[in-house]
Chains A and B, each alone.
Chain A
Amino acid sequence: MPDTEELHHNDLLQLVPKAEAKQSMKDFKSDQEVRWCPGCGDYAVLAAVQGFMPELGLAKENITFVSGIGCSSRFPYYMNTYGMHSIHGRAPSIATGLATSRRDLSVWVVTGDGDALSIGGNHLIHALRRNVNLKILLFNNRIYGLTKGQYSPTSELGKITKSTPMGSLDAPFNPVSLALGAEATFVARTVDSDRKHLTSVLRAAAEHPGTALVEIYQNCNIFNDGAFEVLKDKEQAAEAVIRLEHGQPILFGSQEPKGVVRDPATGDLKVVAVTDENRSQVLVHDAHAESPTTAFALSRIADADTLHHTPIGVLRSVERPVYDTLMADQLDAAVEQSGKGDLGALLAGTDTWTVVG
């Protein structure tokens, strides 16, 4: 599988022209003043993206960032590429039109938990199932920031916010589970403050042919500060974070090593303390598994309230025909079958009569 995948994404990436000269992070910074709140997690993600882009070596005029509405959606203004800050929730549809009509572009979508999962939920799931060549960065801070602190579709049940003084009544979405259910071919999760991990996930997403969804846990220090502290604090993180690596056993924990095994009774996954007896039963992560079942089970292993046992890394990366490629193939096939369109012949049709003077 990895071999053909590599072959394929090379094909797709080759459609995007390469940069003529070596690029640096500076080339990707626009002249606009960044206006997020001081201390916002978005700064870290912006720096990571700007720092990572030169690595792709793509002509920056062939890179486009499209966003919706929300704090994170200001992102395109800070990238010195082409960009569109659109309307709430619609970025995936706009990016779909751009990517399917211009295969020579590298198209990125920047969105948030409200933008992507609330008002734009429909567009997100359909982009994922179609497998359009888009890279979607979903900044999840589990709160509405730009509208000043209402609960979001990823906020925990019972969350006290301005619009839910007695606690929210909504069961939250798990974006990774949702994406897997929507037939996504690439789903990953990372954390804003872990630059190295974030970059490695971005790299994998960029190389993926088709839609890649990257959920980025991002801290809103104004309205939901510390939401992911358990995943960031060194001591707690060792127990809370499960780092997934393709082909590696799923192990974590500092003092007592823990691992993920399959429960023979239910078929579901569970976390166990690893012993010499059960070490061989620890699940080896297979991001390329044809079936999304195990990836889905992994996405459910975290505790929604405490975030303990949160898997990060690439949960799923499989190859499936890319929508844009299929669309382009149909155009080519039509020309092959019927010849290049002839307007005069089209207008005349087959059933005509002539009036002579």
Chain B
Amino acid sequence: MTSQVSSAAEKADEANAAALGGQRAPLSGTTGTTGGDGKEVRRLDRVIIRFAGDSGDGMQLTGDRFTSETASFGNDLSTLPNFPAEIRAPAGTLPGVSSFQLHFADHDILTPGDAPNVLVAMNPAALKANIADVPRGAEIIVNTDEFTKRPMAKVGYATSPLEDGSLEAYNVHPVPLTTLTLEALKEFGLPRKEAERSKNMFALGLLSWMYNRPTEGTETFLRAKFAKKPQIAEANVAAFRAGWNFGETTEDFAVSYEVAPASQAFPTGTYRNISGNLALSYGLIAAGQLADLPLYLGSYPITPASDILHELSRHKNFGVRTFQAEDEIAGIGAALGAAFGGSLAVTTTSGPGVALKSETIGLAVSLELPLLIVDIQRGGPSTGLPTKTEQADLLQAMYGRNGEAPVPVVAPRTPADCFDAAIDAARIALTYRTPVFLLSDGYLANGSEPWRIPETDTLPDLKTPFATGPNHTAADGTEVFWPYKRDPRTLARPWAVPGTAGLEHRIGGIEKQDGTGNISYDPANHDFMVRTRQAKIDGIEVPDLEVDDPADAATLVLGWGSTYGPITAAVRRLRASGASIAQAHLRHLNPFPKNLGEVVKRYDKVVVPEMNLGQLAMLLRAKYLVDAHSYNQVNGMPFKAEQLATALKEAIDA
């Protein structure tokens, strides 16, 4: 069971956590006590579990439940759901494997973990697809019922890996999950197929025993989920309990583990677990409330953004209007129409949808109306990898329009941060009357972490007054309304909504005369308007970039968006091993913080890890003439901390 003790490199996280948090729970794997069942209980500081099975095996639900139990227990955690684009790929095949990885600890952690300590493999395909990521010595729990000739042949196992010695280096627990589940549910008289479906709850029960997770939450959840089918609810609860009891009684599982709550890692407050898309949805609802404006979402379903449409649709009692349009273009069109009418307007999509919305984003730039464009990035180009993560829409967000059409870009760094980033994006849109990109990605969208629930009275005031009367005195002395007369500080034009008497005006995509907003083809006016629209975006107030540099390092690692977790974990490891490195992370990609140029020029080396081929690095090079080095990965998965640490070490030593 040595696998469950952290490796030296992984302990770097702890070293830093200890430095930050002071007092903390005893370290890994050494403290043995005896549990109520007479079995040994070992204390661990952190564990990484991966549930893997067929797309139809309910692995995402299993992972979600284990996450909820873990969150309510008070561990810090980070999750990585990983599933195919097909809803039900052919059963038992490698492309059909769906997995959920969860990293939980008694201290603060930053990533879902590089390599699982425990793999739960529901079938041969799940084992085959995941074994390469599992370090030797780790525990593997397999559903032996699925290791029969045909399922094994389907994924190319000529002999059973459970018997041919190929898993010798691992600590394998063969468990006939299906048989045990059917046995446990015998008295329910369910059809075999129906009863079999509860095997994921059996597995969850077993793992819940292994890690001493609280169980009430899952039982309550199952009864609520199947409220209309009480028999199914009770069958699932029974399978869940049977899994727990199996762990407690069978001799194969001699040890259970405890991971203490991460009480020192968290500031005081009330917490919940939250995924990026949920946090982003809440951020949008909060922004509407803080601005005292109705929220309007125009959207078209697309992975991995659809959850936001689903979530916002559930909150109509906040005055939230959600419109599922006929296509991406109509989604943003309706949002823009609502913005003209005085709503806080949003459209949600992923990269392919942004491509379709480009022309309307350009119109919004020209109309100078507030509008949020939420892009949950996924692998591209074209349809690409719909369920995998990537950061390759940065340049599309920056430049993907005809003409000079600058749009601010805001990027959240963690799942919980999506809440604050959404409010920040709304602030910019409302204050400056501009479309704003909010660039999240599939990793943030589906991943989750504990979130300190903010007091609502600490959230910023986003109230933005509409224009109510004339704003200009004409040459003949009459008071008139000029729709393009700007606020001298923000350069924002007035937001005059239909229904306001005396301010009737016409706006459009044709170039308009400065001030009056009338159609103008005058060359000098166009030059002035192009420069003014750019100046407005360049002048947006964003906080200076903070640099974490405790030891006057020569090398800076600079990231943006969802790479925050892996980069920070890698930096901790490097510092724990004695290396010196500075770290900074960008939230605002357009405009950049005012001090960014000074920051990047301060260091001998600047390394920019990105899940693309170097898009931020290109912007930095173009704008600041610095020799920014890219470190890139575009495999649909987040960076691993160990891999980043190695790459950064090479950069430091080069």
Which residues of A come within 8 Å of B, CB atoms? 17, 30, 32, 59-64, 66, 69, 76-77, 79-87, 90, 92-102, 104-105, 122-123, 126, 327, 330-331, 333-335, 337-341, 343-344, 346-349, 351-357
Contact = CB atoms under 8 A, between A and B. Distances in A.
A348 B270 contact: yes
7 contacts: A82-B504, A83-B505, A97-B296, A97-B336, A333-B316, A339-B317, A352-B271
Contact of A357 (B268, B315, B505, B508): B268
A93 B508 contact: no
Residue of A30, A79, A339, A353 ringed by the most chain B CB atoms within 10 A: A353
A123 B282 contact: no
Contacts of A102: 341-342, 498-499
A61 B268 contact: no
Contact of A335 (B73, B285, B317): B317
B500 A61 contact: yes
Contact of A97 (B286, B335, B509): B335
Contact of B456 (A347, A349, A352, A355): A347
Nearest to A332: B316
A252 to B, nearest CB: 38
B604 to A, nearest CB: 41
Contacts of B508: 76-77, 83-86
Contacts of B331: 93
A93 B499 contact: no
A17 B498 CA distance: 12
Nearest to B519: A77
B263 interface: yes
A101 B317 contact: no
A347 to B, nearest CB: 5
A61 B333 contact: no
A97 B271 contact: no
Nearest to B502: A61
B317 A340 contact: yes
Interface string B318-331: 11110101110111
Nearest to B296: A101
A76 B266 CA distance: 57
Contacts of A83: 505-508
Contacts of A100: 321, 323, 334, 338
A85 B360 contact: no
A355 to B, nearest CB: 5
A350 B533 CA distance: 45
Nearest to A324: B321
A90 B329 CA distance: 8
Interface of B: 68, 71-74, 217, 263, 266-273, 282, 285-286, 289, 294, 296, 298, 315-321, 323, 325-327, 329-331, 333-343, 345, 359-360, 362-363, 367, 453-456, 498-510, 518-519
B286 to A, nearest CB: 6
Contact of A351 (B266, B269, B273): B273
Contacts of B71: 351, 353
Given A76-B506, A93-B330, A355 B269 contact: yes
A64 B263 CA distance: 57
A86 B455 CA distance: 41
B407 to A, nearest CB: 16
A96 B282 CA distance: 25
A82 B271 CA distance: 47
B263 A94 contact: no
B160 to A, nearest CB: 41
Contacts of B321: 100-101, 327, 331
A356 B318 CA distance: 31
Contact of B498 (A62, A96, A123): A62
Contacts of B507: 83-85
Contact of B319 (A62, A341, A351, A356): A341
A343 B319 CA distance: 12
A132 B270 CA distance: 44
Contact of A343 (B285, B336, B499): B285
B272 A355 contact: no
Contacts of A84: 337, 340, 367, 506-508
A100 to B, nearest CB: 6
A354 B271 contact: yes
Contact of B317 (A32, A96, A337, A349): A337
Given A77-B506, A344-B456, 14 more contacts: A32-B506, A69-B509, A97-B296, A97-B336, A98-B337, A98-B338, A99-B337, A102-B342, A102-B498, A348-B270, A349-B272, A352-B272, A353-B74, A355-B267
A265 B68 CA distance: 69
A99 B360 CA distance: 18
A324 to B, nearest CB: 10
